[in-house]
Amino acid sequence: MMDNILEPWHVEALVERFLEEDIGRGDRTTEAVVPDDVRGRARIEAREAAVIAGVDVARLCFSLLGEVSWEPFVADGSRVEPGATIVRIEGPLRTILTGERTALNLLQRLSGIATMTRSYVDAVAGTPVDIVDTRKTTPGLRALEKYAVRVGGGSNHRAGLDDGILIKDNHIAAAGSVTEAVTRALADRPHGLKVEVEVQDLDQLDEALAAGAEAILLDNMSPDLVSAAVTRAGGKALLEASGGITLETVAEYAKTGVDLISVGALTHSVRAIDLSLEVD
Amino acid sequence: MMDNILEPWHVEALVERFLEEDIGRGDRTTEAVVPDDVRGRARIEAREAAVIAGVDVARLCFSLLGEVSWEPFVADGSRVEPGATIVRIEGPLRTILTGERTALNLLQRLSGIATMTRSYVDAVAGTPVDIVDTRKTTPGLRALEKYAVRVGGGSNHRAGLDDGILIKDNHIAAAGSVTEAVTRALADRPHGLKVEVEVQDLDQLDEALAAGAEAILLDNMSPDLVSAAVTRAGGKALLEASGGITLETVAEYAKTGVDLISVGALTHSVRAIDLSLEVD
Amino acid sequence: MMDNILEPWHVEALVERFLEEDIGRGDRTTEAVVPDDVRGRARIEAREAAVIAGVDVARLCFSLLGEVSWEPFVADGSRVEPGATIVRIEGPLRTILTGERTALNLLQRLSGIATMTRSYVDAVAGTPVDIVDTRKTTPGLRALEKYAVRVGGGSNHRAGLDDGILIKDNHIAAAGSVTEAVTRALADRPHGLKVEVEVQDLDQLDEALAAGAEAILLDNMSPDLVSAAVTRAGGKALLEASGGITLETVAEYAKTGVDLISVGALTHSVRAIDLSLEVD
Amino acid sequence: MMDNILEPWHVEALVERFLEEDIGRGDRTTEAVVPDDVRGRARIEAREAAVIAGVDVARLCFSLLGEVSWEPFVADGSRVEPGATIVRIEGPLRTILTGERTALNLLQRLSGIATMTRSYVDAVAGTPVDIVDTRKTTPGLRALEKYAVRVGGGSNHRAGLDDGILIKDNHIAAAGSVTEAVTRALADRPHGLKVEVEVQDLDQLDEALAAGAEAILLDNMSPDLVSAAVTRAGGKALLEASGGITLETVAEYAKTGVDLISVGALTHSVRAIDLSLEVD
Amino acid sequence: MMDNILEPWHVEALVERFLEEDIGRGDRTTEAVVPDDVRGRARIEAREAAVIAGVDVARLCFSLLGEVSWEPFVADGSRVEPGATIVRIEGPLRTILTGERTALNLLQRLSGIATMTRSYVDAVAGTPVDIVDTRKTTPGLRALEKYAVRVGGGSNHRAGLDDGILIKDNHIAAAGSVTEAVTRALADRPHGLKVEVEVQDLDQLDEALAAGAEAILLDNMSPDLVSAAVTRAGGKALLEASGGITLETVAEYAKTGVDLISVGALTHSVRAIDLSLEVD
Amino acid sequence: MMDNILEPWHVEALVERFLEEDIGRGDRTTEAVVPDDVRGRARIEAREAAVIAGVDVARLCFSLLGEVSWEPFVADGSRVEPGATIVRIEGPLRTILTGERTALNLLQRLSGIATMTRSYVDAVAGTPVDIVDTRKTTPGLRALEKYAVRVGGGSNHRAGLDDGILIKDNHIAAAGSVTEAVTRALADRPHGLKVEVEVQDLDQLDEALAAGAEAILLDNMSPDLVSAAVTRAGGKALLEASGGITLETVAEYAKTGVDLISVGALTHSVRAIDLSLEVD
């Protein structure tokens, strides 16, 4: 199973649920049209250039339904060209046809994420900045989507509300000030979690640094302002640029020396990669 | 709860799972920074024009965490302009901040689907054609996504492999011919399901009609070819145009007199609508 | 696993639940009386003539508890005589004794359904009519019971409320008329589902045909009335006779030329077939 | 909720599963034909004489789907005549129509069990014998079916393999003798469980009594043999007659002075009571 | 799997839940520090003398995460000295490190129970008394903890509220008297369960015996009083001493001739045995 | 519900599982002896001095079974003396008796943890050190046990393997050196997690500091060695003393100026506080 995502049984339970959603009480078409004992060979092929992610997840969509042999031609993270074969499958034709749609839905979506992430990562090549994701993922698919970000060369921000502290504008408003919010977080957090705080301008940045914030998210700042922030912080805290950064502007942000650039669009507005399953 | 999607407990169980995915063992930031007894008022507002879908689902993201009062300003299916308030929430500030991300992730995605669907439906206004979705949905979210398609004015194709017969090219290959595939399906299907078959050209169309197909999917045909198919079918079967139909070309397809136009992009490549939650 | 019922993990989860219901915290008798390392051989035998259904489900009742070898002597759908061996089992004696009751409860019930279905099917042999089941199944066992109907030579009506449209008297009352109800259903239904409507007399039949119903259930009509209906419909819709049809009267109904005869008693009042497990 | 069956959430979870089985992705007919805001009144009525069981379970089939008012006319255990109203329901018509089938399936089956149990209990009226059930219940419904036996005036045998010791012929064979089997069970059982053993003849009865069995099941013995066993046991152990006892023969068995008579047919071959739901 | 605890899938599901509790979204340390393809060898060793219980449960903590070879050096129930190797493990180092804590948490706790139980059992060696546990177990772990009691040589009291009758002071108060409470229980209980009642003094004991109680719990009585009770009961009911009995006093109680001595401390106040996992 | 532990439905699901474990198929004693309509009043009282934790969890053990009124006399974290009333309950007597054991098992255990934690916290009063827990919790109860540690005045270490980095000796061995292990972790970890590393001596401490570790666990060091480490670290990293620290030695460790002291015994060897439920 895919290394460092989830325990094996966890991904399996997820895929079982996805298969049930699609299959319901049975694949009426295949049952009626394809005899039980017919075997088939098929391949999944790319119809456009892409970075592939999710090959092992796709495999489960078939192997949970029947015994198939599975011969992958590319590993997760590989770039493929249009026409490339991603995997060859051999097994009961019913299994192949019934699992097809769920497998493609997952593989197309995860590859879409990996491909977009890769384009951001390539755009900042040569700089030490990390491209990171956000919590703007599809409900129910976060672990898989964050895996696809890593496959595309990105890094993961916190996985949820429990494995990272990120104080946002609404938290600051509730606490009264950046200083008070950061102070409360430093006092209360489990000691293994850093305190990160979102700031809107350089005054708030100064306040955050003075209060002891260990990471600071620069919200919706221009590259110039980010540069100024980097200078002002002087390495005393990790700096993350976030908000409205696109493939066109990301390189400019990277040049500022900021440590991290987070991009919600990696997961919230995914274009599925065009893949198809062809029975030989 | 949203009418005719799912039983109440089913949507609730789904949203609980989504909240658990995001919250994990607890919202460390909010616990540390926001006192337990602070109440807050917030509103979700649109930052771009959209057709809204998922207001009741978003509500669950808060009401499952605490007692909130919820005052919706628009109903599902409403068009809103940038700046419009969608809903006002009042309750424990912790509840509002902890539920925010999951609520927005769902509402932005479902509104994205409704908005795109509405643009297709508007593009064919004045014709009797139905815009329908496909099974290219996000695994785990099918019921919600198909609901959003209806909210946008579209119709639903089958919900899964069990509530509709659709014979595709791979099934035909397995059966040997369109005739054989349709014949097998007619013989075996539960009598309440129609037999639909996908055809690639007018010869296959003739074969499908002769075999008694009750609906026929015209795969990747040009508008001219679809027109010819409509003429040739003469009302003996429902006709569905599918494959590569875009917002630019959909009106031309609608004019052919085809009964249904299905569009995978309604759900497989969704752009999240830009919405935000603002605490007063 | 049994073809075209349910995905393998689904049946397995069902049988696990049934075993837990019976075993609870442990089989106290077997633990106390039968040493852990004793192996046994047993066979399940018929004590009356029957059509057998559920052999693979019965197997799971043992194989989920331990490693057993399983040698079936008959396949689902076979007719057996009193004394016939259905299967031979070999394995840990504890596994055999602990799984016995659940296995028999399932096998006896499913074989009861298959046997009764077969008697109805045989009674109409030589006519093209299909014997179909209803939704009057035992809660929790519908998939298995509908499988047993197929094993007995019957066909399945819709599996639930979502994979078929059937407008009943209460729906008609709510809509105001057969015409209105059928019209609404034709306008709203997913296009892959046929619209079937239940009628009480020939006037309603005419109304249903005129409104475009694609299948019509003739409720509690005499064979003569069904004959008249067949004539009047003239092949424009599928006709289903239903209501109070018994093994004594089914042949007479079949002769009317009706397409389908549905029988609730196939599943709602099942007599368990007498089977026993004998340890050698 | 029904007293002493199951915790409230347990029955609720069970009924939710049953509703999901029937409803699947939605009640397509009702959604299309019955507007969302129509309210209705209905009653469940008996079409034959019966002892009713399961009124509260039936209620859940509606109340889990919507808000209904529920006015029962009879309590579980009441005898009703044909035409009797069992309950009146008022609420959204969609809720009533969607929950109908599952509610009736449960109520008809449980009432069938209560009615049959009552006939056995009445047949032995005036004797101190208890009519008890067996583990020959429908998988998944044991708790409900054993409840229906109590409603009909019967008593429950053990609920599963863990809350009673019952040594059967196969256990005896494995242990080598009645004596050895009973001795092992006495040594190993949790001290709160009695040791019951099944015997085939009076010699085995003697052996069981000598070994200290606290209850003895007389398997497939004639009334005369049971009488002899009662005499021979002299009150030293509870005696249970079992095997092939019918409504015709049960009174004769009761006269022998045996303590318990167990009847598998109470639950393994249930005839559903004819009930119907009529919308006013 | 461990004989006579739970079905295999049940223990597996339990351990999966425990692993998920500890691992959450992934073992961040091991993922970062230990390459995916490194294999390791480790052993679990005792740091103090103990009776070991839970070896097979510990194994699942690794085998559910990856493929490991597992070589146990001692079986459950063995006494080990400090420094003794309990098991050797070989497999992916990541699997070993990620499963370690959950495995040790279980093994240390269960061995703690077995060790304490064994000390009680040894203290009464030479007498026929049984040392039994209570329902004062850790919520969620009862089956495993009661297994550990058996491993330590103890016997199990009832496993829950459903597989044994035990009338306590509050029940007696509700019924009005010992006599009334016992009478009600004898009339209503499933016939396979004995009626046990808790008494506070010899008068209540007499009442219990007269009412037909089959087992009697002597609550918080001195050894002398227990002796008197044994004499007075004269073998007419099982006698269980309970309440405040310690390792220091248990032998004295055993000498009274009482049948059972129950000790809540076996499970409610467990000291974890000091074990460690050492990677070679 | 208890603030900042778990979402409400999560604790509820946990307690439901615990109740099912104890109740199984029903509380046979209470059903037989206590009539359905008897109401009762009870109180939970302390039999020894303690810090109470888990009052809201205990409440669920009753409120999930029936409607009870619940009047707490102390809040979590309160110190009580022997004889103190913790809560008064009023409701159906059956509900009170059936929920009693599970409620007490939880309340006694959690109060045991809070009480022990409080004694450690009191022992270091006047110093700024934090007493923290470990992952040596009871499987299945971690969230509740860590909550009890907070109630007792302690702080929580990471909740699982995913919300904190802690490099232990086995990780270091796999990486080859402290330097290499820390370097890998700094490169790979999600940026919101600090890197903590366990060291055995001052040389490793130096290495850890040089490599950039943000927190350092001093494993099994004497107070003197810890003092030396504090001096050497000079505030460049958080320092945690761990390993064999007891109530007797904890004050001496606190005086060293170390930041955190972790104590496995807070949760791995809990003594249940003696509490009882008395029906009035």
Written as one string, the DSSP assignment of C116-135 is: HHHHHHHHTTTS-PEEE--S
**Rounded CA separation A199/A219 (Å):** 6
Under DSSP, the state recorded for A193 is B
How many beta-carbon pairs below 8 A join chains B and C?
67
Say if the Cβ atoms of C163 and B166 lie within 8 Å.
no
Q: Which of A153, A146, A206, A207 is nearest to A175 (CA)?
A: A207
D23 and B3: CB-CB below 8 Å? no
Predicted pLDDT of residue D1: 39
Q: Indicate the helix (H) or strand (E) that contains F268.
A: helix F265-268
Domain boundaries B8-120+271-279, CATH class:
alpha beta
Quick one: closest CA in C to F22, which residue? C25
Length of chain E: 280
Min Cα–Cα distance to chain D from C126, Å: 30
Least Cα distance to E149 among E175, E115, E103, E182 occurs for E115
Is D136 marked active-site?
Answer: yes
pLDDT at D7: 63
- Selection from C60, C4, B197 nearest residue A92 by Cα: C4
Residue F152 to residues B26, F77, F116, Cα–Cα distance (Å): 19, 6, 8
Q: Residue B7: closest CA among chain D residues belongs to which residue?
A: D65
Chains sharing 3 or more CB pairs under 8 A with chain F: A, B, C, D, E
F interface with C, Cβ–Cβ < 8 A, is: 24-25
> What residues of D are in contact with residue F64 (Cβ under 8 Å)?
7-9
Residue C91: helix, strand or coil by DSSP?
strand
**pLDDT tens-digit series, residues D36-92:** 899 999 999 999 999 999 999 999 999 999 999 999 999 999 999 999 999 999 999
Q: What does the pLDDT read at residue B7? A: 63
Residue E3 and residue C36: Cβ atoms within 8 Å? yes
pLDDT beyond 60 at E171: yes
| Terminal-residue alpha carbon distance, chain C | 27
Residues of chain A with pLDDT under 70: 1-8
Cβ separation D160–F19 shorter than 8 A: no
Element containing residue A198 per DSSP (H, E)? strand A195-199
Cβ neighbours of residue D235 closer than 8 Å, sequence gap 6 or more = none
Active site residue D168: yes
Interface test with E, best of F5, F19, F28 (most E CBs within 10 A): F28
Q: Which residue of E161, E172, E275 is the best one to mutate when testing the F interface, meaning the one whose CB has the most F CBs within 10 A?
A: E161
If you average pLDDT over residues F245-256, what whole number do you get?
A: 97
Q: Return the partners of chain D (3 or more C-beta pairs < 8 Å).
A: A, B, C, E, F
pLDDT tens figures, C43-69 = 999 999 999 999 999 999 999 999 999
Query: Who among B3, B9, B159 is closest to D25 (CB)?
Result: B159
* Among C61, C65, C51, CA closest to C15: C61
Identify which of C31, C160, C174 has the shortest CB distance to residue D23: C160
Determine whether A219 is an active site residue. yes
Distance from CA of C134 to the nearest CA of B (A): 12
Does the model's ipTM exceed the 0.85 cut? Answer: yes
Q: What is the pLDDT of residues E193-236, one digit of tens each?
A: 999 999 999 999 999 999 999 999 999 999 999 999 999 999 99
Chain A residues close to E16, C-beta within 8 Å: 7, 9
Percent above pLDDT 90 for chain B: 94
- Residues making up chain A, counted from first to last: 280
Question: Could you give the percent of chain B with pLDDT greater than 70?
Answer: 97
Q: What is the mean pLDDT of chain B?
A: 95
- Identify the contact set of chain E against chain C, taking CB-CB distances under 8 A: 3-10, 143, 159-160, 163
CA distance F68 to chain A (A): 34
Q: Is the pLDDT of residue F54 over 70?
A: yes
Contact A19 C3 (CB under 8 A): no
| Residue pLDDT, tens place only, C182-231 | 999 999 999 999 999 999 999 999 999 999 999 999 999 999 999 999 99
CB within 8 A of B248, min separation 6: which ones? none
**Which among E164, E191, E259 is the nearest to D192, CB-wise?**
E164
Q: With an 8 Å Cβ cutoff, are C184 and D108 in contact?
A: no
pLDDT at F10 (0 to 100): 82
Kindly report the nearest CA distance between residue A251 and chain B, in angstroms.
23
Number of residues written out for chain C: 280
Low-confidence ranges of chain D (pLDDT < 50): 1-4
Which of chain D's residues have a Cβ under 8 Å away from the Cβ of F65? 7-8
Is the per-residue pLDDT at B3 higher than 80? no
How many contacts does B have with E, using Cβ atoms within 8 A?
A: 3
Structure tokens at E188: 């209503």
Cβ partners under 8 Å of residue C204, min gap 6: C178
Question: What residues contact residue A218 under an 8 Å CB cut-off, 6+ apart?
Answer: A199, A205, A225, A226, A229, A239, A240, A241, A242, A258
Contact criterion met (CB below 8 Å) for D15 and D61: yes
Q: Is the pLDDT of residue E1 over 80?
A: no
Q: Domain coordinates of chain A in residue numbers?
A: 8-120+271-279, 122-268
In CATH terms, the fold of domain E122-268 is TIM Barrel (3.20.20)
* Residue E194 Cα, gap to closest chain D Cα (Å): 5
Residue C123 has pLDDT above 80, yes or no: yes
Q: E8-23 and E55-63 helices cross at what angle (nearest 10)?
A: 60
Question: Which helix (H) or strand (E) is D239 found in, with range?
Answer: strand D238-242
Span between the terminal Cα atoms of chain D, in Å: 27
Distance from CA of F7 to the nearest CA of B (A): 7
For B21, name the nearest residue in chain E, comparing CA atoms only: E25
Round to whole Å and give the CA distance between E108 and E86.
12
Chain E residues near any Cβ of chain B (below 8 Å)? 24-25
Task: Determine the residue among B29, B100, B106, B136 to mutate to test chain A binding: the one whose Cβ has the most chain A Cβ atoms within 10 Å.
Answer: B29
CA atoms within 13 A on the CB side of F19: 30
CB pairs under 8 A between B and F: 24
What are the structure tokens assigned to D2, written together? 């029904």
Residue B23 reports pLDDT greater than 60: yes
E chain contacts of residue D3, beta-carbon cutoff 8 Å: none
Q: Closest-CA residue in chain A for E61?
A: A7
Q: Do B9 and D64 touch (CB under 8 A)?
A: yes
Percentages (nearest 5) of helix, strand, coil residues in chain C: 45, 20, 40
Let me know if A221 is exposed, middle or buried by CB neighbors in 10 A (0-12, 13-18, 19+). buried
The single-letter DSSP state of residue A180 is H
Q: Is the pLDDT of residue B4 over 60?
A: no
Kind and range of the H or E run holding D206? helix D202-211
**Closest chain C C-alpha to D126 CA, distance in angstroms:** 30
CA F264 – CA F280 distance, rounded (Å): 39
- Could you read off the pLDDT of D190-208 as tens digits, one per residue? 999 999 999 999 999 999 9
Interface of B with C (CB under 8 A): 130, 132, 155-159, 162-166, 190-194, 196, 215, 238, 240, 259-260
> Side chain identity at F114, as an amino acid letter?
A
Of the residues B168, B189, B232, B271, which is catalytic?
B168
Inter-chain CB proximity B10 and D20 less than 8 Å: yes
Catalytic residues of F, by residue number, are: 101, 136, 168, 198, 219
CB-CB: which of B25, B31, B64 is closest to F9? B64
Q: What integer pLDDT is reported at residue E48 of this predicted model?
A: 98
Nearest to E4 among C26, C64, C65 (CB): C26
> Would you tell me the crossing angle of helices C93-123 and C55-63 to the nearest 10 degrees?
170
Which one from B133, B198, B207, B240 is the annotated catalytic residue? B198
From the candidates A198, A207, A240, A259, which is the catalytic residue? A198
Closest CA to D64 of D101, D94, D19, D34: D19
Which amino acids of E are annotated catalytic? Answer: 101, 136, 168, 198, 219
